[in-house]
Amino acid sequence: MNKAADEFVSPIKPPESFDPPRLPTPAPAWVALSAAWLGLIVLIAAIVFLFLPGTKDPVAELEHLKTYSLADRFLLLPMYGVAVVLFLGCTVFWQMRRHPRPLPEPMVMQRVQAWIGIALAIIAMIILYTHVALHGPRSA
């Protein structure tokens, strides 16, 4: 055996004190609460969208000869709302990812609120995209 390899001492010294990585700061409680309430609002907006009058002449609307219908203008609210709710819910989960389990009761409740908001937003998204796919603008 090579005796010199056994006696090797690295010139790089290890750190004297090793601090464990800090836990991420959890999202404020209002983020999870707003995810749940905004999810409900987005779901209601998606249901309201089903009953709004749609376009009569989509070609004229796209050529800016007529103004867009009420449904076309309202569609942006639930569509962007779904994205916001999903973002808020995922933010709550992401900032809890390294906290030791079992989580304290307030954090568990925030996770439940985030899950409810995400579930409501997904239901709203299914309603919106199904309705638009089945009844979207068709040129005559």
Q: Which two tokens stand for residue 106?
A: 């307030």
Contact 41, 120 (CB under 8 A): no
Please calculate the CA angle 35-90-119 and round it to the nearest 5 degrees. Answer: 55
Contact 84, 23 (CB under 8 A): no
Mean pLDDT rounded to a whole number for the chain: 88
* Position 101 pLDDT exceeds 60: yes
Q: Give, as one character, the DSSP assignment of residue 64.
A: T
Contact 113, 39 (CB under 8 A): no
Q: Give pLDDT, residue 118.
A: 98
Q: Which two tokens stand for residue 11?
A: 């010139």
Contact 96, 113 (CB under 8 A): no
Q: Which two tokens stand for residue 104?
A: 């304290």
* Position 127 pLDDT exceeds 90: yes
pLDDT tens track for 4-25: 567 878 888 877 777 777 888 8
Q: Give pLDDT, residue 70.
A: 87
